[in-house]
Amino acid sequence: MKPVLAWVKDNVLVVVFGVLILLMLPAAWFVSSWWSTKIRTGQEQAASGALQKINGAKIDYTVPQYEPTSATLSVKEYPNKALINWFKEQRAALKGQADGLVKRAEDFNKGVGPDAEAVGRTEHKPLVDGLFPPPAHREEEQGKLNEMEDTLLGLKGRANPYQQILDKARAGGPADPVQMAETVRDMQNSEKEKITANKRDLTTEEQAKLLKQLADQRLAEIQARVASISMYATLGSFPQGRSASAIPTGSHIDAELIEPVQFFKYQWDYWVLEDLVAAVKLADSGQDGKPTTVDKSVVKRIVSIELDPADGLEELDAERGRQRDMGGNAPPVAAAAAGMAPTDPFRSISGRLGGPGNGYYDVRRAKMTVIVSSARLQEFLEAIPRTNFMTVVDMDLTDVNPWDELKKGYYYGPEHVTKATVEVETVWLRSWMSNYMPSRLKSQLKIPEPVPDPNAPAGTPAPGAKGPG
């Protein structure tokens, strides 16, 4: 022990510094650790603050979708000129495509442009210029209404507009039975005179031969008529009687019906009939686009067309009620998503529903009964939606006796035919239709009147708002 103490005494500084080193090592570690933590914490806080500022500078880049059920394309990113330009270009391109599609659909529905022309349709225009919407002055309105009456009835040198629809489709009635009877009778007298010189009666054999000649002549007369038309259809094929959508006939229209709303309904019916007959004409066109003759046509005859009023103008509650469940609980009309039209599955298989709750389009329903080639029925069904925004929602087929038809003067050619009754929904876009509607009709359909341009000169009417109607 003494040697150790002696060494310590001789080496005091070594011992002291050794002790200091042993004490300073943990102290230095503690101090450095505390300092490092403080520095790191400070730096982390500073970095976090800076990061928050940077993230706060991010902006939303979006490309809206015009289909309500599609999600909007959205990206949150830092301001970037390249991104800004790219999204701007995409938004502009998409809007241009959407606007172009809407315009194309509107033009096609109205009968304007190459799409409508390709299916043989022409523009839906009012039969009398300046009547729809009605003029502001009552005197001018009455003059236009009187002109419309003459136009609808084909009076005062005007062509009947409904007959013009048929003429454009190369439609006509069967051979004139009176003229055909006269022709056959003249032939009978002529042949009988040749054989007997009017000095004796025909023998049984001669009578049978003459009857066959007369039957062949009658058939030849019927077939000659077939070659001059594309389908059988007359004004009697259009809605008749006192139904709401019957075409006006006779020498005058009842005074209480000569008013803007009723005349607009006549105009609307006329447009629906135009499209339905155009669909038949399209089906009856050959590969060269020219009308075929009856014996080669798909649709041989339009027997009848019936029209329902537009949804919302004449309520169909009784019919709709019969389609409800047995408990009598009427399921509500399906609520429309934003940007979508309302639907009603009890209206038809399409669910389309026009009227006040639909701000985009109106629906007109029609029932068309035709004699059609059984083998080529599908061609007719396909021609209907090609012609305009029209959909077949129901169809019934019944047999046709060609001999009974032949007795009535209808010859359909060698093909087997059937009678088809098709129910068709037609859609009419309000984007152009509402420009023609009288104000009272707009009120019924809850169509808002156009807003006047605040920059227009004082006294300038809003677009499409010419009169009270």
pLDDT tens for the 469 residues of the chain, in order: 667 667 656 666 666 666 666 666 666 666 666 666 767 776 666 666 655 655 556 777 777 776 666 677 777 777 778 877 877 887 888 788 878 888 999 999 999 999 999 999 999 999 999 999 999 899 999 999 999 999 999 999 999 999 999 999 999 999 766 666 666 566 666 666 676 777 777 777 777 776 776 666 666 677 778 889 999 999 999 999 877 789 999 999 999 999 999 999 999 999 999 999 999 999 999 888 899 999 999 999 999 999 999 988 765 444 444 444 444 444 445 555 556 788 888 888 888 988 888 989 999 999 999 999 999 999 999 999 999 999 999 999 999 998 899 888 899 999 999 999 999 999 999 999 999 999 999 998 888 877 665 665 554 445 555 444 5
Cis amide leading into 133 (omega within 30): yes
pLDDT recorded at residue 22 = 65
pLDDT recorded at residue 412 = 94
Q: Is 198 left (phi over 0), alpha (psi -120 to 50) or beta?
A: left
Please state the separation of Cα 189 from the chain's center in Å: 58
CA separation for the pair 425, 197 (Å, rounded):
64
CA separation for the pair 32, 50 (Å, rounded):
27
CA separation for the pair 99, 381 (Å, rounded):
30
The three state secondary structure string of the chain is CHHHHHHHHHCHHHHHHHHHHHHHHHHHHHHHHHHHHHHHHHHHHHHHHHHHHHHHCCEEEEECCCCCCCCCEEEEECCCHHHHHHHHHHHHHHHHHHHHHHHHHHHHHHCCCHHHHHCCCCCCCCCCCCCCCCCCCHHHHHHHHHHHHHHHHCCCCCCCHHHHHHHHCCEECCCCHHHHHHHHHHHHHHHHHHHHCCCCCCCHHHHHHHHHHHHHHHHHHHHHHHHHCCEECCHHHCCCCCCCCCCCCCCCCCHHHCCHHHHHHHHHHHHHHHHHHHHHHHHCECCCCCECCHHHCCEEEEEEEEECCCCCCCCCHHHHHHCCCCCCCCCCCECCCCCCCCECCCCCCCCECCCCCCCCEEEEEEEEEEEEECCCHHHHHHHHHHHCCEEEEEEEEEECCHHHHHHCCCCCCCCCEEEEEEEEEEEEEHHHHCCCCCHHHHHHCCCCCCCCCCCCCCCCCCCCCCCCC
Dig out the tokens for 231 from the structure.
Answer: 């389908």
